[in-house]
Amino acid sequence: MKLISAASAVLLAYLVWGSRGWPLIHDVPLMHYIAWLIEQGAVPYRDTFDMNLPGAYLLHLAVLRAGGAGDLAWRCFDLGWLAVTCGLLLVYCRRIGHGWAAMGAALLFALYHLSGGAWHAGQRDYLLGLFLLLGAWGVARGTEQGASWALCWGGLALGAAMTIKPHAALYWVLCAAIAARDRAWIMSSWRAASLVIASGLVVPGAVFGWLAWRGGLGPFLHIMTGYVIPLYSRVGRVSAWEAIRWHSFGRALAGLFLALVLLALLAPPPREAAHKGLALVGVLYGIVHFVVQGKGWEYQLYPLAVFLCALAPFALRRLSVAAWERHGHPSMPLRFPGLRRAAALVLFAATAMVLGAKGVDALEEPWIADKARRVVALTRDLAPRVPPGGTVQVMDVTEGGVHALWNLRLRQPTRFIYDFHFFHDTDDARIVALREEFVAGLAGQPPSAIVVMRDTWNRLGYERLADWPDVARLLARSYTLAVEGDGYRIYVKRADS
């Protein structure tokens, strides 16, 4: 295991160095932009139509205030978050009594993250993993040692996770149930569970209290109940296995991690059973987390990945003959544990190799470079066409339109950050209302320019505007096509309109 860990560390260092120049890309500029709007006085959800929870905005706002808005600041934040998560994995897994296996788990997760490429940097599900693991560690220590304080900070961490992704509430409830069942004898079941539940409400209470104070709680509930749950949750759904198939090295990694989990389940029970149990429950939660969202995006596998890495070292656990007898296996031959450990070492090495190959491919993905060039070109073309105080409306998701607004610190006349929600379920009254709000906003406060990206999520091509006559007529009547760029069009407001 020492040799595997050393080789993995060298590979990790290569990937870290190669990633040092990764730019802000894909989802991160969107969250930066919303955080900047909030800093400028915008009310979340009332002034920004978005599906994410407020905890994500607050994290991005904290990064902007502490480190600045540049690529380097976000790169440092991403790597720093990775270091803390890996350190926590090391602490969590060392309880099994095999330090090199714990090191291997931390290195596997680091390789997993860097193998995802620039667009995985700082993704919300990645940020979620640290809070989930911290919560699991607190609950494990609390149940094994009867420590109330550990249950409390475990609950606090799980509560923080719920402000980033609501699905984390499931793991929070499961952790409370495990605390009630496996708690140390000095603590009653109801007290152990109530500590996890009560402390888990603290951070969501503070975050949503802040949201209510800002005036965004009502709009948030309206978006969640009127759009996200009934409509957005059904858009673009794919099966989990179909998604894994088109992820890079997806099937190979799924098979390797599954084999490690099976070997971990065959391993002798550890003294700290809660650590293994919470990691196993975390794996099950990670599967649900990915399947329930149904979009198939690779970064939504992060909760599963962090708990797979936390569970994998248990496959290397070994016991003496006397320990085997104490666990009820007096006749079990020692060579079976030896074979299991040998198989686990091979799987660790193979997983690290596959992640390394995936990481090398991801260091300079062509589509990332293409998107970065598009953002630079759009920013350059847009800047001279917007007078001081002017606004720009983009019709985009992640193709670079919002990123250009972020670069230029330009606001929009409407609250709509994206446009994909205008092009699904178009006969539904709720989508009709969103379309009417958008057109009314453009007519009431005409922007200096309208940027239409060629592609949006689930709809490719400018032809989608033909399905929306009101916007097509507005562009024909009041705007002129000023720039035809690579994947974008800039329409400038006519002087006589």
The pLDDT profile of the chain, 497 residues, written as one tens digit per residue, is 788 889 999 999 999 999 999 999 999 999 999 999 999 999 999 999 999 999 999 999 999 999 999 999 999 999 999 999 999 999 999 876 567 889 999 999 999 999 999 999 999 999 999 999 999 999 999 988 878 899 999 999 999 999 999 999 999 999 999 998 866 656 678 888 999 999 999 999 999 999 999 999 999 999 999 999 999 999 999 999 899 988 999 999 999 999 999 999 888 776 778 889 999 999 999 999 999 999 999 999 999 999 999 999 988 876 443 444 444 444 444 445 678 788 989 999 999 999 999 999 999 899 999 999 999 999 999 999 999 999 999 999 999 999 999 999 999 999 999 999 999 999 999 999 999 999 999 999 999 999 999 998 888 899 999 999 999 999 999 999 999 999 999 999 998 76
What pLDDT score does 99 carry? 77
What pLDDT score does 37 carry? 98
Q: Output the six-digit token pair for 228.
A: 């996200």
Q: Are 292 and 192 part of one and the same domain?
A: yes
Task: State how far the Cα of 71 lies from the Cα of 76, in Å rounded to an integer.
Answer: 9
Bridge partners, 489 (sequence order): 452, 484
Task: State how far the Cα of 95 lies from the Cα of 86, in Å rounded to an integer.
Answer: 15
pTM listed for this prediction: 0.93
Last residue of a domain, one of 332, 362, 392: 362
Are the beta carbons of 478 and 497 closer than 8 angstroms? Answer: yes
Range of the domain at 402: 367-493
What pLDDT score does 207 carry? 98
Last residue of a domain, one of 362, 385, 418: 362
Q: Are 276 and 159 part of one and the same domain?
A: yes
Task: State how far the Cα of 405 lies from the Cα of 413, in Å rounded to an integer.
Answer: 12
What pLDDT score does 62 carry? 96
Q: Output the six-digit token pair for 383.
A: 């800047």
Are the beta carbons of 314 and 276 closer than 8 angstroms? Answer: yes
Q: Are 72 and 108 part of one and the same domain?
A: yes
User: What are the phi and psi torsion angles at 482 (to 5°)?
Assistant: -100, -30
What pLDDT score does 328 carry? 47
What pLDDT score does 185 carry? 53
Tell me the H-state helices in 115-167.
124-145, 148-162
Q: Are 333 and 418 part of one and the same domain?
A: no
Burial class (CB in 10 A: 0-12, 13-18, 19+), 204: buried
Residues 275, 309, 277: CA angle, nearest 5 degrees = 25
Q: Are 209 and 285 part of one and the same domain?
A: yes
Q: Are 273 and 259 part of one and the same domain?
A: yes
What pLDDT score does 316 carry? 83
Q: Are 31 and 151 part of one and the same domain?
A: yes
Task: State how far the Cα of 66 lies from the Cα of 386, in Å rounded to an integer.
Answer: 30
Q: Are 374 and 342 part of one and the same domain?
A: no
Task: State how far the Cα of 357 lies from the Cα of 353, in Å rounded to an integer.
Answer: 6
394 membership: H or E segment, kind and range: strand 392-395
What pLDDT score does 186 carry? 60
Instruction: Name which of 441, 451, 434, 439 is nearest 394 in CA terms.
Output: 451
Number of domains making up the chain: 2
Q: Are 77 and 212 part of one and the same domain?
A: yes
Q: Are 335 and 418 part of one and the same domain?
A: no
Are the beta carbons of 347 and 263 closer than 8 angstroms? Answer: yes
Instruction: Name which of 41, 37, 85 is nearest 57 in CA terms.
Output: 37
Task: State how far the Cα of 356 lies from the Cα of 320, in Å rounded to an integer.
Answer: 35
Q: Are 378 and 354 part of one and the same domain?
A: no
User: What are the phi and psi torsion angles at 449 (to 5°)?
Assistant: -150, 155
Q: Are 250 and 278 part of one and the same domain?
A: yes
Last residue of a domain, one of 362, 392, 416: 362
